[in-house]
Amino acid sequence: MRLILVRPEPEAGRSAARLARLGHEVVNAPLLVTEPIAQGQAAGSARDDVAALVVTSPRSAGLIDDGTRAAFRHLPVFAVGDRTAAAMLETGFADVRSAAGDILALGRLIAAAGLPTGARLLSLGGEERAGDLAALVAPAGLTVERRILYRMVQVGSLPPSLGAALRAPGPAAVLHYSPRSAETFVARVGEAGLATAAARLDHLCLSPAVAAPLARAGFGRLRIAATPDEAALLALIEG
């Protein structure tokens, strides 16, 4: 089956390789690109009252500057998922704990960690937030300071590979991993005059939030993963 990926790199490359091994034809057309925040803005000064780090994406691990890494390497790290945890271990942090889930699972993991009341967490991640971590850990007496390392920027026009895939005959499906990429998909296919072609395809979505921009645009062939992870999303292909 022809599968269209619109998620950013490097995640898109990993997903494409996985799908190719399963025998699918993969069109890789990222609609978002990473724009790092300047190190001077991202790093800031080390704080003595930081009790732990929180990391919400694998991308963040590679963007932590040397000063922040040296200042906080001794602290525990709470990662939203296993891939993020692995990236932090590769970066040199030793005490890394994975929530193996989403922002809600991350909040539960932190709240149950036994950190002292009043402890401050330093959250390293992107400009967009998947949820309100501060609200989730506030009942445990914890506070969160955010440090933005990058932002995701929409591509300015429809990638040629995506346009060709939408025009091609035969069955195909688009895999959507985030609300932002879904919003960008709707905008770019509309600008290219390909909304009708896109609407005839199946759209496989990681969660209801990811499906929402597509539903608002009138796309009817939406399917949502049973759980917000790639394994459940890929299960929709055969479902």
Strands (E), 73-205: 77-79, 96-98, 120-126, 143-154, 172-176, 202-205
The predicted pLDDT at position 39 comes to 58
More confidently predicted of 89 and 130: 89
Is 5:16 a contact under the CB 8 Å cutoff? Answer: yes
Kindly state the average pLDDT of the residues 117-121.
Answer: 96
The predicted pLDDT at position 28 comes to 96
- Tens of pLDDT, residue by residue over 153-162, are 999 999 999 9
This prediction has a pTM of: 0.80
Kindly indicate the confidence band of residue 45, based on its pLDDT and cuts at 50, 70 and 90.
very low
Closest to 61 (Cα-Cα) out of 30, 34, 100, 92 = 92
- Tens of pLDDT, residue by residue over 65-74, are 888 899 999 9
CA angle, residues 139, 141, 147, in degrees to nearest 5: 100
**Domains in the chain with CATH codes:** 2-31+155-238 (3.40.50.10090), 36-152 (3.40.50.10090)
Average pLDDT, the chain: 92
**pLDDT-above-90 percentage for the chain:** 82
Kindly state the average pLDDT of the residues 131-147.
Answer: 94
Sheet containing 2-5: order of strands: 25-28, 2-5, 172-176, 202-205, 222-224
- Tens of pLDDT, residue by residue over 178-220, are 999 999 999 999 999 999 999 999 999 999 999 999 999 999 9
CA atoms of 192 and 180, how far apart (whole Å): 18
